[in-house]
Amino acid sequence: MRSSQTSTEFQTIIYQRGGDIARVTLNRPQVLNVYNVQMRDDLCQVISAIKDDPDVRVVILKGAGERAFCAGADLTDFLTAPSPVIARQVRWERDIWGLFLSLPQPVIAALHGYVLGSGIEMALCCDLRIAAEDARFGLPEATLGIIPAAGGTQTLPRTIGRARSLEMLLTNRWIDAHEALAAGLANRVVPPSDLVPTVEALAQKVASMPAVAVKCAKEALVRGSDMSLNEGLELEKMLATLVLSSDETLERVKAFLESRTSTFQ
C-alpha cells in the first residue's frame, strides 16, 4: 500500500490522494457547493485521472463546509444561456455523470446538509452513500419549470423505486436521512460528527481488499443489473475466472489455506 500524500486545489474542488484512497471535496461552501461549469471541468479532470490510476482503490466524495454536500446546480451558469437548448448543451458538453458511472473503483459519498438537484444526482452516481443525520434530499427542478438532466429521472427510481421518485420529482418533496436510509438511498446514517470518520473507515476497509476482486464485483453487479439473468451469470463467470487468475487473489487464497492448515495442526 502506498503511503504518499498529495493534495491539489482547483477552483471549485480539492483533490487529495493518500495511499490507495482518492478524496474529492466539492469546495464552494460559500454557495452551498452548488455545481457550476467550472466544477464540471474540474471534476472531469480529476475523475479522468482517477479512472486511469491503477493505484487508487477507492474514492471518497464529500462537500466542504457544514451546511451542504451540494445544493444543486448554479442557475446563473446553466439557465442564462441564450436559449434552453444552448443551456442544456453547456451542461452536457462534458459527461461528468457518465464519467462517474464508468469508474472501476468504488466511490463512497459522504452526505451532509443539503443534497439537492445535481447534488443528489451526483450522489446517485456513487456506489455507497453514508448520510449524516442532518442530510436533506430533494429534486426541486420542477418548481423551476425544468426537469433533472443529470440522470436523476433514471438513477433515482432505480435506487428507491418509482412511487417515491415520482413524489419527489412531481411535488418537490424532500426526505430526511432516516427516510433515505429506509428507502435505500443511504447505506448508513450517522451523527454529523461521525460522518467523515465512518466514511474513512469504510474506505480503508474497501481498500484493504484485493483490488481486482473489488473492481470485478462492482462490474458484475453494475453491468449485470441491465442484463437478463442468464447474461448476468455469464458475466459473473467470466469475471470470477479473471479474479481467480490474478496474482493478488492467488496470494490471498494461499495465505488463507496456510492459516487454516496451521489452525488444525
Q: Which residues are catalytic?
A: 121, 141
Burial string for 96-107 (b: 16+ CB within 10 Å, else e) reads: bbebbbebbbbb
**CA 265, CA 262: separation in Å to the nearest integer?**
5
> Are the C-beta atoms of 206 and 213 separated by less than 8 Å?
no
Residues linked to residue 73 through DSSP beta bridges, in sequence order: 35
Q: CA Rg, the chain, in Å? A: 20
Q: How far apart are CA 51 and CA 22, in angstroms?
A: 11
Could you list the beta-strand ranges (E) of the chain.
5-9, 13-18, 21-26, 58-63, 68-70, 107-111, 114-116, 128-132, 136-138, 175-176, 188-190
> 71 vs 64, 191, 196, CA distance in Å?
12, 20, 19
Backbone phi, psi, residue 82, to 5°: -60, -25
Residue 219, Cβ density class (10 Å: 0-12 exposed, 13-18 middle, ≥19 buried): middle
Cell output for 42: 474540474
Cα(103)–Cα(36) distance, integer angstroms: 21
